[in-house]
Amino acid sequence: MAETIRRNARPVRRQGRSQPAGRKSRKGAKQSGLLDALMRVLPFTEQQLHKVFLALIFAAIAALALLLASLAGLTALAGERAAAAVADAGFEVRKVEVRGVDRMNEIDVYERVLGVKDRAMPQVDLSELRASLMELPYVRDARVSRQLPDTIVVDIVERTPHAALRRNGNLALIDETGHVLEPISAAHAKERLVISGAEAETQVQALASLLDAAPQLQEQVTEAEWVGRRRWNLTFVTGQVLSLPQGEERSRAALMSFAELDGTNRLIGGRVAAFDMRNPDRIYMRVPGRAQEAAELAAQKKDS
């Protein structure tokens, strides 16, 4: 029996492929229709719906932040419990050892450190403790360390008293940088160089350099006055005053010249009460009673 073949018939395989596409298209159209219908039924516009979604996102972020904060609190609690366990094991501050204290009051150091006593070793903030010690006037440097199991060790580097600063009628010890250490009485300042004048504490190192230029005079200088924020007046143990010129080099040269003159003529301890070397070409000397003597001599000559 003969078979009839249609020339324009579509292949079965091609038809099979086209059917799912048609079904998908119909399915997508159906879903889109459902969404459109749902939007028509809900009492929201599309913009309002977007705002709702954004609000939900922000709420989720806030909830996550609260969760992280809660976890942080649990971490801190765990740290406290761990520190307590360490303290129970014997690693707790029971002793404080202070080293390097000579001139200052050791009690001032203990007052700063004893605040950490009975605290677990891991809970002691060494940096904060050192910063507190550095506030003490006599402390140039401080090192704080743990000595397990139960000791905090404090090593102090003290400032060294250098001179006495006179300010507003009061005296205070200062170190070589001009840093104020503590108030002192006039009796305790007798054996120290007394420095005075506006902003004199800022010139302590410059004064030390100046006096080093004439070491033979250093022991005889008892006071140094910073005059007009620009030059020095030096007072010797005899009460005599030397006025130096302005400027580092000029004042050093004048002081060295005076030291030479004193070595040959013994100016210190003589009749001259004041020496003025502000003029580089000459030295002016004031002798007490000389004016009166000159006046009396002039009167005698006139009478004769």
Dump pLDDT digits (tens) for 112-133.
988 877 788 888 899 999 999 9
The yes-or-no verdict on residue 87 having pLDDT over 60 is: no
Give the mean pLDDT of 51-68. 68
Q: What's residue 82's pLDDT?
A: 45
The yes-or-no verdict on residue 168 having pLDDT over 70 is: yes
pTM of model > 0.85: no
Is the C-alpha dihedral spanning 193, 199, 203, 204 positive or negative? positive
Residue keyed to tokens 């028509």: 40
Looking at residue 133, the DSSP 8-state letter turns out to be H
**Residue 270 CB coordination number (10 Å):** 13
**Residue 142 CB coordination number (10 Å):** 21
Dump pLDDT digits (tens) for 103-115.
999 999 999 988 8
Give the mean pLDDT of 188-200. 95
Please give the Cα distance from 161 to 195 (Å, whole number): 13
Give the mean pLDDT of 263-270. 94
Local confidence band at 89 (pLDDT 50, 70, 90 cut-offs): very low
Angle made by CA atoms 111, 115, 116, in degrees to the nearest 5: 130
Is there a contact between 218 and 208 (Cβ–Cβ < 8 Å)? Answer: no
Q: What's residue 169's pLDDT?
A: 92
Helix (H, G, I), strand (E, B) or coil at 141: strand
DSSP track, 165-188: EEETTEEEEE-TT--EEEEE-TTT
Please give the Cα distance from 278 to 244 (Å, whole number): 5
Q: Among residues 89, 74, 155, which one has the least CA distance to residue 120?
A: 89
Distances (CA, A) of 198 to 203, 229, 255: 10, 6, 22
Give the mean pLDDT of 241-255. 97
The yes-or-no verdict on residue 98 having pLDDT over 70 is: yes
Token pair of 184, please? 């002192």
Is the C-alpha dihedral spanning 214, 215, 219, 224 positive or negative? positive
Q: Among residues 188, 210, 294, 278, which one has the least CA distance to residue 242?
A: 278
Query: Left, alpha or beta for 199 (phi > 0: left; psi -120 to 50: alpha)?
Result: left
Q: What's residue 39's pLDDT?
A: 55
Domains of the chain in start order, with CATH, are: 95-158 (3.10.20.310), 163-293 (3.40.50.11690)
